[in-house]
Amino acid sequence: MQKKSTKEAFDILDMRNYRMEKIPKRTKSSFELFLMKIGALLAVISFVLLMFYVEIPFLNQIDVTTLSKSGKANLDALGMEQFIHANRAMLAIFVGSLILWITEAIPNYLTSLILIITLVLTKVLPEDVAYAQLGHKIMWLNILSFILASMLVATGVAKRFALWFILKFGKNASTIMISFMVINIVLSLFISATTAKAAILLPIMMVVAAVYGASRGHKNNFGRNLILQNLFQINMGASSFLTGSGANLLAASLIGGAIGSDIFFSDWLMASFPVALGLMLIGWMIGTKLIFPLAKEDQLPSIPGGMDSLRAELKKMGAFSGKELKSVVIFGLILGFWVTDRWHGISPTAVAFVGAIVALLPKIGIIEWNEVDIPWHLLLFSAGAYTLGAGFNVTDLPSISVNAFFNTLGFGETTPFWVLYVVLTGVMVYSSLFMQSKTMRTMIFIPIAIGVASRFGYDIVSLTLPVAFLIEHVYVLPFNSKPGLLLYSTNHYSMTDAFKYGITMQTVAWIVSILMAMSYFKWLGITPNGLF
């Protein structure tokens, strides 16, 4: 009997063939490999030059009157000479770390460990402050979120919901796209890791794409739309909620520290969710009507009965279990406390703490510790970014740099609010083209927005919160985010496809943000009246 070929043996409708570990890893381009080779040397050279040789005028002549409160306090404690030294070291460490992060010459978590100890050795931060960032409340929320997300994965409730929703409402190409939009929003309420959401949905996306004729290297506009719009929706879902990602929580923490009060879950939800939902709908229309228009053959299943494979997968999961019910109840209670945080004052971290404890309780709980999947390499990377932020705080480097920049451009104290808003939001949106980490962008641009608002006398929230709402726009190129890298490996679209759709949606998002500042954000009291 003739043996079947590998291609024939591959079942395009079998969800087991699309697990993360079976998706081929993307081969780096020759340019990326070149950057990896020279990245470490560039980082060391940059550090040495900035630390010891290059004269930086705006650091040698610091205008004390433009410093923030924390900057003035540290200047008083250190003295001018040591304060200038700390700023030089901070700039050198930041540039060196940025080069290592962008080129990926060494793993990102290793870069974080190096920058932490370098901040200590150069006396920018004392050891207790530098090492304590691993215990930051946002770090704890990240850890707890992974525990809670593991509960959803272990019980299968997230997969069950996604399968059920697609089968219930995904009757044709258009409603399938809308169904994934709803699924992404719901999952974003409970799962703060965008990579985890992509991993949960990936097998379902691949089977649905195959049903509509996109499989095994055969690209069509349905597959392009499905995967790219899911990438966009995963990020917009995260943008909708304060707990949607660790970067959102970090931004809220930085803004809250600057204004002396909390940014609540309900505040973020009211301002960001309607905008993110609107962008998803715009993205659906632009994708299916303009950039990748669906031909008639793309709108119909090419495999008769193909959706039956999803029904079989759902049936295989059996009846709704008691553990699944428990996980739904736990998440429902967590969500209830998050939404009402303005009234009871309990932080999202504390709420997640209780939820994780209940989930892990013997006999009463749902999962055991060995079922929890916590990516410690990502958490170490985040700890490095938070330590970098602590260094920015003590040196006041963002404020000093911002003031020097605006002085060089000749911006006066009467610079219109709209000019600052357009510049800051534009820089935040397009910075994701060359910076992989949302946490890193948050640590850089939120302090800058705080410094700009303080310099020109505008309310800090009016510039920082709209900038924070743009953190999640990381979907243009594969290396812009981990979900982007994962979904690019599906081979359903090219880098050119991703760029066309992504840069279009980034530009649309920037324009929408400006329009919101003139209307909806003004109505909410975020942006000031009469300044647009």
CA angle, 507 as apex, 440 and 461 as ends, to 5°? 55
Asked if the structure places residue 7 within a domain, the reply is no
Give the pLDDT confidence score for residue 6 in this predicted structure. 44
Whether residue 72 is found in the same domain as residue 123: yes
What is the extent of the structural domain holding 511? 30-132+391-524
Whether residue 367 is found in the same domain as residue 489: no
Give the pLDDT confidence score for residue 3 in this predicted structure. 45
CA distance readout (Å), 471 to 81, 150, 434, 463, 502: 36, 25, 14, 13, 14
Q: What are phi and psi of 505, to 5 degrees?
A: -70, -30
Calculate what percentage of the chain has a pLDDT beyond 90. 25
Q: Which of 289, 301, 229 is nearest to 487 (CA)?
A: 229
Whether residue 235 is found in the same domain as residue 188: yes
Asked if the structure places residue 12 within a domain, the reply is no
Whether residue 345 is found in the same domain as residue 362: yes
Query: Per-residue pLDDT averaged across 435-439, rounded?
Result: 70
Question: Of 317, 339, 371, which residue sits at a domain end?
Answer: 371
Q: Which of 83, 130, 71 is nearest to 258 (CA)?
A: 71
Asked if the structure places residue 395 within a domain, the reply is yes
Query: Per-residue pLDDT averaged across 282-303, rounded?
Result: 85
Give the pLDDT confidence score for residue 463 in this predicted structure. 94
Query: Per-residue pLDDT averaged across 486-515, rounded?
Result: 91
Q: Which of 426, 333, 395 is nearest to 92 (CA)?
A: 395
Task: Provide DSSP, 323-347.
Answer: HHHHHHHHHHHHHHHHHTHHHH---
Whether residue 349 is found in the same domain as residue 280: yes
Whether residue 98 is found in the same domain as residue 195: no
Asked if the structure places residue 34 within a domain, the reply is yes
Sign of the CA dihedral running 286, 485, 160, 304: positive
Calculate what percentage of the chain has a pLDDT beyond 70. 90
Q: Is the pLDDT of residue 8 over 70?
A: no
Confidence band, pLDDT 50/70/90 cuts, at residue 349: confident
Confidence band, pLDDT 50/70/90 cuts, at residue 268: very high
Which pTM value belongs to this model? 0.76
Whether residue 331 is found in the same domain as residue 396: no
Q: Is the pLDDT of residue 5 over 50?
A: no
Asked if the structure places residue 320 within a domain, the reply is yes
Whether residue 100 is found in the same domain as residue 166: no
How confident is the prediction for the chain on average, in pLDDT? 83
Neighbouring C-alpha atoms within 13 Å toward the C-beta of 332: 7
Query: Per-residue pLDDT averaged across 317-341, rounded?
Result: 86
Question: Of 371, 399, 432, which residue sits at a domain end?
Answer: 371
Whether residue 72 is found in the same domain as residue 150: no
Convert the pLDDT of each residue in 385-399 to its tens digit. 778 878 877 887 877
Asked if the structure places residue 240 within a domain, the reply is yes
Give the pLDDT confidence score for residue 16 in this predicted structure. 54
Convert the pLDDT of each residue in 24-82 to its tens digit. 555 667 877 888 899 999 999 999 999 999 888 888 777 776 676 777 777 888 888 88
Asked if the structure places residue 330 within a domain, the reply is yes
**Which tokens belong to 117?**
């100890």
Whether residue 266 is found in the same domain as residue 337: yes
Asked if the structure places residue 68 within a domain, the reply is yes
Whether residue 227 is found in the same domain as residue 190: yes
Convert the pLDDT of each residue in 72-112 to its tens digit. 777 888 888 888 888 899 999 989 988 887 787 888 789 88
Q: Is the pLDDT of residue 9 over 70?
A: no
Confidence band, pLDDT 50/70/90 cuts, at residue 412: low
Task: Provide DSSP, 145-184.
Answer: HHHHHHHHHHHTHHHHHHHHHHHHH--SHHHHHHHHHHHH
Neighbouring C-alpha atoms within 13 Å toward the C-beta of 363: 0
Query: Residue 249 and residue 268: Cα distance in Å, rounded?
Result: 10
Query: Residue 514 and residue 532: Cα distance in Å, rounded?
Result: 10
Reported in sequence order, the residue ranges of 205-276 that DSSP labels E, i.e. its strands, are none
Give the pLDDT confidence score for residue 530 in this predicted structure. 66
Question: What single-letter DSSP state applies at residue 396?
Answer: T
Confidence band, pLDDT 50/70/90 cuts, at residue 304: low
Give the pLDDT confidence score for residue 467 in this predicted structure. 96
Whether residue 110 is found in the same domain as residue 172: no
Number of compact structural domains in the chain = 2
Query: Per-residue pLDDT averaged across 427-435, rounded?
Result: 84
Q: Is the pLDDT of residue 465 over 60?
A: yes
